[in-house]
């Protein structure tokens, strides 16, 4: 071969780079996958929100009346703690055991997790959970063979916030009203 012939056949000028275009079919698949992912995410979010909204709310007396139909369903239970809670262990996990009452019905509660700061006897609570057959840990007050196993607790409060002047007045009233005759 001749070197002169090779020089004519070889083009040494730089080529302009062109963006690599994916075939239309690949672009459609990517768009379809992104669309499916977005629709799936939105559906999951809606299902989660509706799941929380679908939890029924019962006062303790109603929940006791409907215990057979509520058997293992999650629902919200409202009641007022009747005594100080007891920190104990139940089924190898730390729990808070206490009774709640509403309209003279008493429910033994076994709560897993930390209670809110405002939790105390006499202040109404809303608990999320389900009925469990069998007594919970002591103290067992209801003694009906069931307890309410909760994993979420909300404390009701009255939204009655007072300013500093009212605080001083309340302290004075408490001192006067709390004194023994």
Q: Which has the closest alpha carbon to 105: 54, 148, 152? A: 148
pLDDT in tens, 100-159: 888 888 888 888 888 787 888 888 888 888 888 877 777 667 677 788 888 888 887 666
Q: What is the largest CA-CA distance in the chain?
A: 127
CATH number at residue 131: 2.40.50.140
pLDDT in tens, 54-75: 667 778 888 888 888 877 788 8
**Residue 132 is assigned to a structural domain of this protein:** yes
Query: In Å, how far are 4, 37, 105 from 143, measured between CA atoms?
Result: 107, 50, 12
The yes-or-no verdict on residue 78 having pLDDT over 80 is yes
**Residue 5 is assigned to a structural domain of this protein:** no
Model confidence band, residue 38 (pLDDT cutoffs 50, 70, 90)? very high
The yes-or-no verdict on residue 172 having pLDDT over 80 is no
pTM listed for this prediction: 0.57
Contact yes or no for 136/97 (Cβ under 8 A): yes
Provide the domain count of the chain.
1
**Residue 116 is assigned to a structural domain of this protein:** yes
For residue 140, the enclosing domain spans 57-155
How high is the mean pLDDT of the chain?
77
pLDDT of residue 157: 66
The yes-or-no verdict on residue 8 having pLDDT over 90 is no
């Amino acid at each position: 071969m001749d070197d002169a012939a090779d020089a004519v056949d070889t083009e040494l000028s730089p080529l302009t780079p062109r963006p690599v275009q994916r075939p239309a079919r690949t672009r459609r698949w990517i768009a379809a996958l992104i669309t499916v992912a977005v629709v799936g995410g939105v559906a999951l979010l809606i299902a989660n929100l509706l799941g929380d909204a679908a939890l029924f709310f019962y006062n303790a007396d109603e929940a006791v009346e409907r215990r057979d139909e509520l058997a293992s369903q999650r629902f919200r239970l409202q009641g007022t703690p009747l005594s100080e809670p007891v920190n104990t262990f139940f089924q190898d996990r730390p729990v808070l055991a206490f009774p709640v009452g509403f309209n003279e019905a008493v429910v033994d509660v076994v709560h897993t997790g930390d209670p809110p700061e405002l939790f105390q006897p006499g202040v109404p609570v809303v608990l999320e959970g389900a009925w469990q057959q069998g007594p919970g840990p002591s103290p067992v007050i209801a003694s009906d063979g069931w307890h309410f196993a909760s994993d979420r607790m909300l404390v009701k409060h009255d939204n009655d916030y007072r300013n500093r002047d009212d605080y001083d007045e309340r302290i004075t009233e408490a001192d006067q009203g709390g004194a023994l005759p």
